[in-house]
């Protein structure tokens, strides 16, 4: 549990620095957060060190990402319609993709940010919580932990989105989906929803 305590403390500090620092430096800070937390996971967690991507993890991960994307399409409609700050919150999130060239952002997401989040949140945090509290209770606690570090963003819709995404990946990990497949899922989902086909743009294209 010491490794878990160290990891969660580091995550709190890192995410606070990521979201509270100068906005134009968001992507470098997010990359350093990934390097720090991913490095901690590899240092402190056996499941993280043992993660490998097998060939069959790729279709499984892509299917998982597609299911989560459909979920977010529904959530986007709900947030824009029923959450008072939903439209502004979503616009604020997607504005981050204009801060750096898209190719650079995709590279950061694919090589550092996405893999590091899975190694840390599932491979270290959830694995430790499941050992202590059991498979599903540990998954629920890991979901709460993942969502909680996004409070510092000050973006209510992002907090909700993190909770939904965290619940999705935590449930899959608790159900026995390999960490390698979840890395594929996280990377594919990050790039698709953030850079290729953001939620809300389908409706804009259909109305054009």
pLDDT averaged over every residue in the chain: 91
Q: 3-state class of 1 per DSSP?
A: coil
Do 33 and 15 form a contact (C-beta atoms < 8 A)? yes
Over residues 58-81, the pLDDT tens digits come to 999 999 999 999 998 887 787 777
Q: Answer yes or no: is pLDDT of 124 > 90.
A: yes
Task: Give the tens place of pLDDT for each residue, 22-61.
Answer: 999 999 999 999 999 999 999 999 999 999 999 999 999 9
Q: At what angle do helices 135-148 and 156-174 cross, to 10 degrees?
A: 160
Which pair of tokens denotes residue 67? 């299911």
Confidence (pLDDT) at 205? 35
Query: Rounded to whole angstroms, what are the CA distances from 130 to 49, 50, 83, 137?
Result: 17, 17, 33, 7
The answer to whether 178 and 130 have CB atoms below 8 angstroms apart is no
Nearest Cα residue to 124 out of 27, 183, 40: 40
Quick: pLDDT tens for 135-191: 999 999 999 999 999 998 888 888 888 999 999 999 999 999 999 999 999 999 999
Classify residue 159 by burial, with Cβ atoms within 10 Å: 0-12, 13-18, 19+: middle
pLDDT, residue 202, reads 42
pLDDT above 70 as % of the chain: 93
Q: CB of 45 within 8 A of CB of 124?
A: yes
The Cα–Cα gap between 155 and 93 comes to: 8
pTM of the predicted model as reported, rounded to 2 decimal places: 0.92
Determine the Cα–Cα distance for residues 160 and 180; give it in Å rounded to an integer: 25
The helix/strand/coil state of 176 is coil
Whether 21 has a pLDDT exceeding 90, the answer reads no
């Amino acid at each position: 549990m010491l490794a878990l305590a160290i990891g969660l403390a580091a995550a709190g500090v890192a995410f606070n620095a990521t979201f509270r620092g100068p906005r134009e430096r968001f992507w470098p800070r997010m990359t350093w957060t990934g390097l720090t937390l991913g490095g901690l996971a590899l240092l402190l967690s056996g499941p993280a060190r043992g993660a490998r991507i097998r060939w069959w993890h790729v279709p499984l991960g892509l299917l998982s990402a597609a299911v989560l994307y459909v979920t977010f399409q529904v959530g986007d409609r709900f947030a824009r319609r029923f959450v008072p700050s939903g439209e502004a919150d979503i616009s604020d999130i997607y504005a981050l993709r204009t801060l750096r060239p898209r190719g650079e952002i995709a590279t950061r997401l694919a090589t550092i940010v996405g893999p590091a989040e899975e190694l840390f949140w599932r491979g270290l945090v959830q694995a430790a919580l499941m050992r202590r509290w059991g498979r599903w209770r540990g998954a629920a606690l890991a979901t709460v932990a993942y969502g909680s570090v996004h409070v510092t963003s000050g973006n209510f819709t992002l907090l909700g989105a993190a909770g939904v995404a965290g619940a999705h990946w935590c449930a899959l990990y608790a159900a026995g989906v390999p960490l390698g497949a979840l890395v594929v899922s996280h990377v594919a989902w990050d790039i698709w929803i953030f850079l290729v086909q953001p939620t809300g743009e389908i409706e804009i294209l259909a109305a054009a």
